[in-house]
Amino acid sequence: MNESALSGLQSPALPRVRGGFVRRWVRNPWRRPTILATITWGYIAWSLIPLTIAIAVSFNRSRSSSSVNLFSLQWWWTDPSDSLLHDPELHSAVIQSLKLSLTTMVIAVPLGVAFALGIDRWRGRVASGANFVMLLSFVMPEIILGLSLFFVFSFLLKFVPLGSAAQILGLVTFQLSYPVIIVRARLLSIGKDFEEAAMDLGATPRQSIRAVLLPMLYPAIFASAAIVFADTIDDFVTVRYLSGPATSEPLSVKIYNFARGQPSPAINAAATFMLASTIVVGAVAYLLYRAFTRGQRTGAGLGDLATQL
């Protein structure tokens, strides 16, 4: 400690480093972080290249995943029996997927936003208990949640049949914590000043929430709606345990069942379709997020969105 401090004092501008090239390179505080940059870009390549290949397979003419042929929409709609559009099983699965995701989003987001608002201002033992249970549902591994819901619907709450109803109830339970966490983070950064100012100017509590607080929460609400949608359309654990007849299996479950059994480029097309729909929803949410945070003190960059996740 002493030695290094002294050497620092002797040459404050450029610490003199003896030794070979490697040593000097390692010690140079202004060198570019080459190793870290390589790791980062390497990771990004590793995380995205397999996906582009999987997407490419869905536009491939051949059934084999390795031989690349001409671009074709055979697995999307041209093929009369095996394509995503014409295979009746895949076709109904797409509709089931969209139905489950949209319904879950519509139920989970308002419930979660209201909970976040209430729990942020309500203090006390009951409040912290409710908050604890909410966060516990966030960290509980999905297999535990999915199976326990399966048990409750087959033994205690028998009036809910396995199928769409049970799936939606289960998905909402699993997704409820996302809007709560995202909206609470936003509430913390907003503070109580705006709302109190509105009430000072004569607004009732209800008005101050609806006219002042809620618009400020829109970015968080859109972000959480997009996340809930994306996460639900991909879900196959909870949904699989709670699915009844084969018609209630959404696309994700079909893909899971077929992925190893009878792989076909139509499965890739199905997965690509899911990807495209989440990207559309994500893009819409991001644009809304941008639109509603414009002109606010906090930037609307991806960095903020990332820290809210």
Residue in 19, 25, 64, 88 binding other proteins, rule: CB under 8 A: 64
Number of chain residues interacting with other proteins (CB under 8 A): 108
- Least distance (Å) between residue 226 CB and other proteins: 8
Q: Do residues 164 and 97 lie in contact, with contact meaning Cβ atoms separated by under 8 Å? A: no
Nearer to other proteins, 60 or 83 (CB): 60
Q: Rounded distance, CA 35 to CA 15, Å? A: 22
Residue in 40, 69, 78, 296 binding other proteins, rule: CB under 8 A: 40
- Least distance (Å) between residue 92 CB and other proteins: 18
- Least distance (Å) between residue 40 CB and other proteins: 4
Strands (E), the chain: none
Residue in 69, 78, 204, 296 binding other proteins, rule: CB under 8 A: 204
Nearer to other proteins, 77 or 151 (CB): 151
Name residues contacting other proteins, limited to 109-168 (CB under 8 A).
111-112, 114-115, 117-119, 121-122, 126-127, 130-137, 139-145, 147-152, 155-157
Residue in 59, 184, 212, 266 binding other proteins, rule: CB under 8 A: 184
Q: Please, what sign has the CA dihedral across residues 309, 111, 254, 73?
A: negative
Piece of 77-85, 86-94, 212-220, 297-305 that binds other proteins (CB under 8 A):
297-305
Q: Which amino acid is at 293?
A: T
Alpha carbon distances (Å) from 291 to 95, 216, 285, 288: 30, 12, 10, 5
Alpha carbon distances (Å) from 235 to 25, 115, 299: 48, 23, 32
- Least distance (Å) between residue 66 CB and other proteins: 5
The single residue listed with the structure tokens 């870009």 is 41
Q: Rounded distance, CA 135 to CA 296, Å? A: 30
Residue in 24, 44, 71, 77 binding other proteins, rule: CB under 8 A: 44
Binding flags for other proteins, 239-278, as an x/- string (CB under 8 A): --x----------x--xx--xx--x---xx--xx-xx--x
Q: Rounded distance, CA 98 to CA 144, Å? A: 25
Q: Do residues 44 and 226 lie in contact, with contact meaning Cβ atoms separated by under 8 Å? A: no
